[in-house]
Amino acid sequence: MNAITTWQLSVDGVGWVQLESSEFRYAGGLVVAVFDGSGTGWTVFDLGGSQVAFGAGTQDQDGNNYSYYWNSHYATTDSQGNVGGMMLWLGYNPGFSSDTVGPEQTFRIANLGQGRVSLQATAGSFPGQYLSGVQGGWYPEQWGLGNGSFVSSTSPTAIRISGDLLPLLQITNSAYDTDLSGRDLGAISLASANLQLSNLSGATLTAVTSIAGADFTSATLHGVHLGAHDLATAKTWAHADFTGSDLTTIAGAASAHLEGAVLDTTNLTGRNLRGAFLQGSSLKGAVLTGADLTGAHLDGADLTGAHLGGTILHGATLAGTRFDGVDLSTAQFDPAPQFTRAATSRTTFVGATVPFAVLGANWSFLDLTSATITGIPSAISTLVADHALLPTGLSLEKVDLTGASFVGTRMYEIQLQGANLEGATLTNALLRGAKLSGANLTLANLDSAFLIAETADVARALAVRTGAGGRLPVRAEARRPGPVEQDKLEAAVVTDAFLVNTILDGAHCDGVDFSGSLFVTSAAVSGSQSASAVGASMNFTKFDGASVVLAVFNGAQLSAASFATADLTGARFLDNGTTPTQLTPSSDTTHTPASVYEAHLEGADFTGANMDGLDMRGATVATANGVFEKIYDGFAGAKIPVAFDYDPTRLGTTTSGTTCPNGSNGPCTL
> Is residue 179 in some structural domain?
no
Q: Prior bond to 483 cis, omega within 30?
A: no
Average of per-residue pLDDT across 311-334? 99
Q: Residue 485: its pLDDT value, please?
A: 56
> If pLDDT is split at 50, 70 and 90, which confidence band does 61 have?
confident
| Residue at which a domain ends, from 162, 188, 211 | 162
Q: Is the dihedral of CA 350, 355, 358, 362 positive or negative?
A: positive
Poorest-pLDDT segment among 6-15, 57-66, 552-561, 629-638? 57-66
Render pLDDT for 615-645 as a digit per residue (tens, 0 to 9). Answer: 999 999 999 999 999 999 999 999 999 999 9
Query: Of residues 543 and 60, which shows the higher confidence score?
Result: 543
Give a yes or no: residue 13 inside a domain: yes
The three-state secondary structure class of 635 is helix
Q: What is the pLDDT of residue 509?
A: 98
| Residue 477: inside a domain | no
Does some domain include residue 250? no
The H or E element that residue 91 is part of is: none
Whether 379 is in a domain gets the answer no
Last residue of a domain, one of 135, 162, 189: 162
Q: Report the pLDDT value the prediction gives residue 27, as an integer from 0 to 100.
A: 87
Residue 606 burial (10 A CB sphere; 0-12, 13-18, 19+):
buried
Task: Give the mean pLDDT of 86-91.
Answer: 94
Q: Is residue 412 predicted with pLDDT exceeding 70?
A: yes
Closest CA to 456 of 427, 426, 436, 485: 485
The string of pLDDT tens digits covering residues 608-619 is 999 999 999 999
Percent of the chain scored above 90 by pLDDT? Answer: 90
Q: What is the pLDDT of residues 195-224, one digit of tens each?
A: 999 999 999 999 999 999 999 999 999 999
The per-residue pLDDT for range 12-56, each reduced to its tens digit, is 999 999 999 999 988 889 999 999 988 899 999 999 999 999 999
Per-position DSSP letters for 565-616, written without gaps between them: T-B-TT-B---BTTBPPB----SSTT-PPPB-TT-B-TT-B-TT-B-TT-B-
Domain total for the chain?
Answer: 2
Judge whether 342 lies within some domain.
no
| Start-to-end C-alpha separation, the chain | 118
Residue 209 lies in a domain: no
Alpha helices in 316-404 (DSSP H): 356-359
Beta strand 65-69 with 116-121 is unpaired
CATH of the domain at 116: 2.80.10.50
Q: What is the pTM of this model?
A: 0.90
Residue 474, in any domain of the structure: no
**pLDDT for 253:** 98
> Which range, of 102-111, 450-459, 612-621, averages the lowest pLDDT?
450-459
CATH code: domain of residue 430: 2.160.20.80
Statement: residue 576 has pLDDT above 50: yes
Query: Average pLDDT, stretch 418-438?
Result: 98
The predicted-structure confidence for 276-300, as pLDDT tens digits, reads as follows 999 999 999 999 999 999 999 999 9
Q: Does residue 474 register a pLDDT over 50?
A: no
- Residue numbers of the domain that contains 135: 2-162
pLDDT tens, position by position, 161-194: 999 999 999 999 999 999 999 999 999 999 999 9
Looking at residue 46, what is its pLDDT? 98
pLDDT higher than 80, residue 539: yes
pLDDT, position 95: 86
pLDDT value at 570 more than 50: yes
From 144, 162, 180, give the residue that closes a domain.
Answer: 162
Does 464 have pLDDT greater than 70?
Answer: no
